[in-house]
Amino acid sequence: MRIAFDPLAGMKQPLPSAAPRGGRAPTILVFDSGLGGLTVHRDLVRARPDARFVYCADDAAFPYGALSEEHLVARVLQVMERLVAAHAPDCIVIACNTASTLVLPHLRARFTVPVVGTVPAVKPACETSVSRLVSVLATPGTVARDYTRALVAEYRGDCAVTLVGSPRLAGLAEATMRGEPADLAAIAAEIAPCFVDVDGRRTDAVVLACTHYPLLADIFAEIAPWPVAWIDPAPAIARRVTQILGPAQPGHVPPPATALLTGGAALAGLATVFAGFGLGETRVESLPLH
């Protein structure tokens, strides 16, 4: 089950409007540390099939979950500086919780282009949980953020919220997408702490608070100790982008979508993955991590 989530709810921000002038289709820049942002990209394409998409995976710096906060802020600003200059997007989507829970204020201070982030969907999970036991599955970085703790404090109501920082899942998702056999035992061990049983009362909602995790959604559902609602923020992010840019313009043929990699390891295999998400052109724009 996918539950709608408003990624800006509670952030008390005015809604920027950025519909491009002259009826031209907008350029949407989608950004993540790797392949996880594709789970947001696919909902964005459904919402704005006419847009020109540029997807950037900062794979040279993957995984973001392991970077210090200072390093991550500097890195995202550095990559974004280059991307904005090269592609002049009408909207930037940070399809990464690990980055969004830290870097959004820095990006909004630096660029005038509207920036939509991806943050843990704590609110809808706590609103809909019947057992009042909710888990947030994220990278260790996202779990440690003040921002995430504040979201939980604001929206948990009477729910007990378990924060689970997984050191390995994003990498396991990348490996599975690159065609390696899914390591079911490792995946099961990473999601196990999400499943809490208090005298027969069991967790019934798990927030997918890393965009890599919906890539493994079928496996999660298969190996979970019991069924839960897996909450994915992608549809809400797509709605927010449509609010900012306006609805799709009928009759526009979208220009080819481009995938960019800052590292480009195993590029040949990745080109096939990107093509499966409609990103026909895959290029390496080298930006090593220093």
Please enumerate, by residue number, every residue annotated as part of a binding site for substrate. Answer: 32-33, 64-65, 97-98, 211-212
The least distance separating ligand DGL from the CB of residue 34, rounded to whole angstroms, comes to 6
Burial 197-226 (b: 16+ CB within 10 A, else e): eeeeeebbbbbbbbbbbbbbeebbeeebee
Assess 148 for contact with ligand DGL (CB under 6 A): no
Q: Which is nearer to ligand DGL, 25 or 163 (CB)?
A: 163
* Tokens describing residue 6: 């408003």
Q: Which of residues 150-189 bind ligand DGL (CB under 6 A)?
A: 170
Which one of 56, 126, 159, 210 is the catalytic residue?
Answer: 210
Known active-site residue 96: yes
DSSP lists the bridge partners of residue 208 as 137
Binding residue (CB under 6 A) for ligand DGL from 31, 53, 55, 64: 64
Question: Number of residues in contact with ligand DGL, rule: CB under 6 A?
Answer: 17
E-strand stretches of the chain: 27-32, 52-57, 91-94, 115-116, 133-138, 160-165, 197-198, 201-202, 205-208, 229-231, 258-261, 281-284
| Residue bearing tokens 């509670």 | 10
| Residue bearing tokens 């696919």 | 42
Binding residue (CB under 6 A) for ligand DGL from 3, 28, 32, 155: 32
**Alpha carbons within 13 A on the beta-carbon side of 49:** 5
Binding residue (CB under 6 A) for ligand DGL from 75, 89, 98, 204: 98
Assess 135 for contact with ligand DGL (CB under 6 A): no
**Alpha carbons within 13 A on the beta-carbon side of 196:** 18
Stretch that binds ligand DGL, among 62-70, 76-84, 156-164, 264-272 (CB under 6 A): 62-70
Known active-site residue 210: yes
| Interface ranges with ligand DGL (CB under 6 A) | 32-34, 36, 62-65, 96-98, 139, 142, 170, 210-212
